[in-house]
Structure 1
Amino acid sequence: MAYRRIADIDFSELTRGPFHPSPDDWADEVLYFLLVDRFSDGGERGYRDNDGVLVTTGTTPPLTEAGHGLAVRTEADAARWRAAGLDWASGTLAGLRGKLGYLRRLGVTAIWVSPVLKQCAGQPTYHGYATQDFLAVDPHFGTAEDLRGLVADAHAQGLRVILDVVINHAGDVFGYEGDAQPVWTGRRYPVKGLRDAAGAPVLPVGPVPGVYPDGGVWPEELQGTATFTGKGRIVDWDRFPEYLEGDFEGLKDIALGEGPADDYTPSAALLALVRAYQYWIAFADLDGLRVDTVKHLDPGAARFFASAIHEFAQSIGKERFCLVAEITGDREFAYRTLDEVGMDAALGLADVQARLEGVAKGAEDPAGYFALFRNSLQVGRESHTWFRDKVVTSYDDHDQVRKGPWKARFAAGEPGRRLALVALAMNATTLGIPCVYYGSEQGFDGEGGHDRYIREAMFGGEFGPFRSRGGHAFDEEHETYRQLAGLLAVRRRLPALRRGRQYLRPVSPDGVVFAPPGHPGAVAWSRIFADREVVVAVNTDPDRARTTWVTVDAGLHAEGDMLTCAYSSEPAFAGGRVSVSARNGKAVQLTVPPAGVVIYA
């Protein structure tokens, strides 16, 4: 049922359980982030269902390479395709529910689902970050029961579900006097009224029960005059306190409370939002939340939210319920904030993404990427292993804030198209909780320069990937999908790849002169867990194989010891063995295929 007030929810009944337990260690997990509107509408044919059976019904055929670019052959076609990228594409929770087998066979263990709560009526907020009702699922996506069914099916498939949520702001639920979007100056602006179902700001700011569900803001506890800061939109995203108090363009900032973090007084709005998300955790049996825009929250508000959510989750048996914080800015700021507010992991945005992409494309010194995890003292930690489960790593996402106005996926153009596996391998086998952005396993390129182009509809429709229309991309025979599935299988099998310490290894083409990896060429690193070492090497040269000597731990290996190839992107190498030699202490000689990956253990 749909609730209009927090006060109407019977939490004693809601929390009877049983509930799905948390993982032993989130470092063991592999996340997959998707936008529900852009993932699946359930109308595909020619893919494998959750049990691996080929689906022959449905109306949308698989996309072929011949279909790439067909949606933009004429300017009229291109304009239609571009416009479709700004509107709802019609992906649903039911569609996602039918693709859980696709994700499980890929090796994903946890799905990060974009926000699904009800958006403002009549606004193209397909991304889900403009909530109008915090107690209802948006009908574009389905129903609350669809969300609960998705999570139950995911758990049955061995997958966990992390739901993306927002507490910093609501959608464009009210209008200022003059129907303008005033800029932040530090003062409150007069509010004209809450918006009705047609978007007009004509409703009184207060209880408006007669306009449910599309008018006003819900639950009812959020309809008071004190719910919003009302100070206009942010212009300087780094100026204090502007970035804490301002609106995100039309998205209205919520007043969450006041005071220092150690003595914070939560507002009635924050108390209502905490209770709303506790409801969803229990109702849907969620395993974690990704909390949007934590940088723009008072530290006290973020800490209050984290404490209340953790305690509630633990009270129903979810001992390691995961709160992933989106904290933009430099990493020192991000990790200090993470510690201060008590959330579990930070998204490795900006420098992590940029450096991983640069190394994978052979354009940047690998030392820069690996130093992000070794310079732990900069964030007040004695060991770089702190990063193991405290940072979620990726190289592509739906915003790409780091790239400014010109955005595209890693695989846009050369050499990214051919080096996609290298980036995925670095993401999957280096420190942090790896996260795959949907479509990366199919080589999506996201070319075009705008947010919309990195948010392709995987199921085709009017805004299909590779500038296509009407063809889906759930291809389990795609080379990148198959290779990533093999990599993730090895990650599951070898604890060192999930939990081990990490070392960038000196390499040598001749076994005599060893130096840090150059670029382009072979990049190698070790993960060591207890007395087990696993060596990973990638080749950032897309045209020719690289044979190189790689330094290994001299204390763990004797001359003549053998390492076995646990994975190779060139199947002929798999199972091969190399002998440890007394070079640069100890070393092994590895051959890495062009744009390829090998793992030896």
Structure 2
Amino acid sequence: MMRRRRSFRSGILCFILALTLLSGCSPQDAESSSPSESAKPAPPAATMPVKTVAAEIHEQPSTVYYEIFVRSFYDSNGDGIGDLNGVTAKLDYLKDLGIGGIWLMPINPSPSYHGYDVTDYYGINPQYGTMQDYTNLLQEAHKRGIKVIMDLVINHSSNQHPWFKDAAADKNSPYRDWYTWSKPGETLASDGATGSNPWHPSGSDNYLGIFWEGMPDLNMDNPEVRQEMIKIGQFWLKQGVDGFRLDAAKHIYEDFKSDASNKETMKKNQAWWQAFRQGINEVNPNAYLVGEVWDSTAKIGPFLDQALDSCFNFDLSKTILSTVRSEQATDIAFNLERIYGFYNTSSKGKFIDASFLTNHDQNRVMSDLADNMYHAKMAAAILLTLPGNPFIYYGEEIGMTGMKPDERIREPMLWSDEKDAGQTTWEPFFYNKDTNIAVSKQLQDPNSLLQHYKQLITWRNDLPALHNGDIASYKLDNSSLLAYQRVTSQEKVLVVHNLSKDVQTVTLPDATFTKLALTNKYEASLRGTTLELPPYSSVILK
């Protein structure tokens, strides 16, 4: 992933960062009522001094990504299961939405519905299609300017993988040391990193599998395993894939809770991903690597040092959702400036954020926001006007709902309010029975959530400051208004969101921003330095 770099922030940011964690700025949740467009505007609020944009501008050239669970997306052959040809059939929908990249959840053969327990790292799940189908998908996506990254599960395999079956059946197997086995009489640590007992019986032995018995951990201390995983990555790059989402990236060596604070464990994780990066660079130095590292800022930094391009920003997703629920602004930009400073230092200027609202492991956005459409639209507006690569979970753009267990947050994508031959049926609807949210219905409604997403992504794709820019704080003395600057070396814009159900009026401190460039509510106005925003609206000022 190529990255333009202007300069580096001082290393002192590492110290500042330790005092300022993004997750610590989330406000308490609060209920909201419907907006009143005729509500009497609040008197103009005073402003705090505007932070001068620092000389250091770290641009983040971005792509809007779309996460796809293939099984649930679109069925091309009538068997009720989504497939690769189904994804290809919907590329024009994604292009029209403004998507520039897709993340395919696991597509390798697997005994499970989700695919995170792989039995063949070089194959395609036969329920999803063939290698030719995959190659065709890549070619058609690239014709439309859409990148494709795929889930790569390196931490563990399936217990049905031939490697593990051979290792479990024969202690002299050449694959025995590809996994971690207990020694006779050894006291087994039970503090698994994921909260459960990580050891599982196999005959008279026990093997390590921190997620569950169906996912035995691969032994990454074995040079043969390391070489094989790099070889697998190189294989898929040669097929034409543009990069990887790396599952459970921090658990390559962090197997037990006691490992979480172990510096040696962190160094081993870092060294492995640096070696993987080097292997990937041999085939495609621009391949995009984004890791699942659900941890503190300080622990994420080392993963970005000549290794991963991005790690998913779980803290930011929590902050965005708590902000829209409470309708109270937090200084998101102030925190991101410091975090990005640390990450840019860690990565030598190559870092790009990976933001999202929720993903396939979390309750869906609309359920998390209690079906509040105003809040769902505002969450999207914040996500899509912040730096980095934003990731949209399939169905999020139409307001699909879902709460755990996992199958119910991965329900079939709802395409039409009428019978659609491509509708997947592998899992019956529990939450998304209301066909009024279907894509076909929302495409006809200019005020729909889907049209809102399309508008925001268009803004982002058309405006360089939103597409590539750094972020800088901009404080307004009005807790209902969330504001921040997006900055490139060539331009600067001001983003302002009215989080509340009431009209808000504020006086800007100077005439730096004189033009109302974009708004999603026509009632918004800028007269001189007086900005008026309708309820639940967003504007871009130049």
> Kindly tell me: are residues 375 and 89 of structure 1, through their superposed partners in 2, closer, same or farther at Cα, counting changes over 3 Å?
farther
In the alignment, which residue of structure 2 is the partner of 1:159?
A: 146
- CA contact 2:321–2:369 (8 Å) conserved in 1: no
CA contact (8 A) 1:100 1:154 kept: yes
Shift in Å, 1:544: 3.4
**2:294 aligned with 1:328, yes or no?**
yes
Q: Establish whether residue 366 from structure 1 lines up as the match of residue 330 from structure 2.
A: yes
Distance 2:80 2:504 in 1: 44
**TM-score normalised by L of structure 2:** 0.73
Q: Give, in angstroms, the shift of residue 343 of structure 1.
A: 1.3
Task: Determine if contact 1:505/1:550 at 8 Å carries over to the other structure.
Answer: no
Matched with 1:565 is 517
Paired residue for 1:139?
126
Residue 593 of structure 1 deviates from its aligned partner by 3.1
- After superposition, give the CA deviation of every residue in 1:130-182 in whole Å (9 maximum; x if it has no partner): 1011111011211111111111110111111011101111012379xxxxxxx
**Aligned counterpart in structure 1 of residue 484 of structure 2, from 502, 516, 525:** 525
Q: Displacement, 1:578?
A: 2.9
Matching residue of 2:526: 578
- Structure 1 counterpart SS, 2:495: strand
Whole-angstrom distance in 1 between the partners of 2:67 and 2:293: 17
Give matches, 1:195-210, under 5 Å: 204=170
Are residues 562 and 130 of structure 1, via their aligned partners in 2, closer, same or farther at CA, if it must alter by over 3 Å?
same
Distance 1:157 1:463 in 2: 32
What is the aligned partner in structure 2 of residue 255 from structure 1?
A: 219
Partner Cα distance (1:372, 1:166) in 2 = 31
**Partner of residue 482 from structure 1, selected from 447, 451, 463:** 451
- What are structure 1's unaligned runs of at least 5 residues? 1-20, 44-58, 60-87, 176-190, 196-200, 208-222, 258-265, 315-319, 401-406, 508-514, 581-587
Within 5 Å, which residues of 2 pair with 1:266-285? 267-283=223-239, 285=240
2:361 is the alignment partner of 1:399: yes
Partner of 2:505: 547
What's the C-alpha RMSD, in Å, of the aligned pairs?
A: 3.5
Aligned-partner Cα distance in 2 for 1:168–1:157: 33
Change (3 A) 1:464 1:418: farther
- 1:510 corresponds in structure 2 to none
The yes-or-no answer on 1:94 pairing with 2:59 is no
Q: Is residue 431 of structure 1 aligned with residue 387 of structure 2?
A: yes
Equivalence for 2:471: 502
Identify the residue that residue 316 of structure 2 maps to in structure 1: 352
**Distance apart, 1:460 and its partner CA:** 5.2
Where does residue 496 of structure 2 map in the other structure?
537
Return closer, same or farther for 1:452/1:545 CA change in 2, 3 Å cut-off: farther
Offset from partner CA, 1:21-53 (integer Å, 9 cap, x none): 97989732111112111211137xxxxxxxxxx
1:302: which partner in 2?
273
Q: How far, CA to CA, are the matches of 1:325 and 1:159 in structure 2? A: 20
Higher relative contact order (CA 8 A, sep 6+): 2
Equivalent runs, 1:31-50 vs 2, <5 Å: 31-42=65-76
Unaligned runs of 5+ in 2: 5-58, 183-187, 200-206, 254-268, 414-422
Query: What is the percent sequence identity of the aligned residues?
Result: 23
- Displacement of 1:399 in angstroms is 1.0
In structure 1, distance between residues paired with 2:408 and 2:508: 40
Could you say if the C-alpha distance between residues 593 and 101 of structure 1 is closer, same or farther in structure 2, counting changes exceeding 3 Å?
Answer: farther
Structure 2 CA distance for partners of 1:105 and 1:194, relative to 1, 3 Å = same
Residues 22 and 234 (structure 1), Cα distance of their counterparts in 2 relative to 1, 3 Å cut: farther
Amino acid aligned to 1:130: D
What SS class does the counterpart of residue 354 from structure 1 fall into?
Answer: helix
State the alpha-carbon separation in 1 of the partners of residues 381 and 539 from structure 2: 9
1:118 aligns with 2:127: no
**Where does residue 596 of structure 1 map in the other structure?**
537
Q: 2:226 and 2:347 mapped to 1: Cα distance?
A: 35
CA–CA separation in structure 2 for the residues paired with 1:327 and 1:467? 30
**8 A Cα contact 2:369 2:376, kept in partner:** no
Deviation, 1:591, is: 3.0
The equivalent of 1:69 in structure 2 is none
Q: How far did residue 308 of structure 1 move?
A: 0.5
Aligned pair count reads 444
Structure 2 counterpart of 1:101, which letter? D
Counterpart Cα distance in 2 of 1:136 and 1:233: 35
Distance verdict in 2 for CA 1:146–1:345, change over 3 Å: same
**Could you give the per-residue CA deviations for residues 398-448 of structure 1, whole angstroms, max 9, x where no partner exists?**
113xxxxxx4434445464322121111111112211111111101121x3
Change (3 A) 1:310 1:202: closer
Give me the whole-angstrom Cα distance separating, in 1, the residues matched to 2:140 and 2:60.
20
Q: Does the 8 Å CA contact 2:328/2:481 hold for their aligned counterparts?
A: no
Q: CA deviation at 1:528?
A: 2.0
**In structure 1, the residue corresponding to 2:148 is in which secondary structure?**
strand
CA distance in 2, matches of 1:141, 1:523: 43
Q: Residue type matched to 1:140 in 2? A: Q
Alpha carbons 2:179, 2:208 under 8 Å: kept: no
CA contact (8 A) 1:352 1:372 kept: no
SS in 2 for 1:173: coil
Q: 2:526 is paired with a residue of what secondary structure?
A: strand
Q: Distance in 2 between matches of 1:465 and 1:471?
A: 15
How far apart, CA to CA, are the structure 2 residues paired with 1:286 and 1:353?
27
Shift of 1:324: 0.8
In 2, distance between residues paired with 1:413 and 1:354? Answer: 12
Once the two structures are TM-superposed, the CA of residue 547 in structure 1 deviates from its matched residue by 2.9
Which of 89, 100, 103 pairs up with 1:109? 100
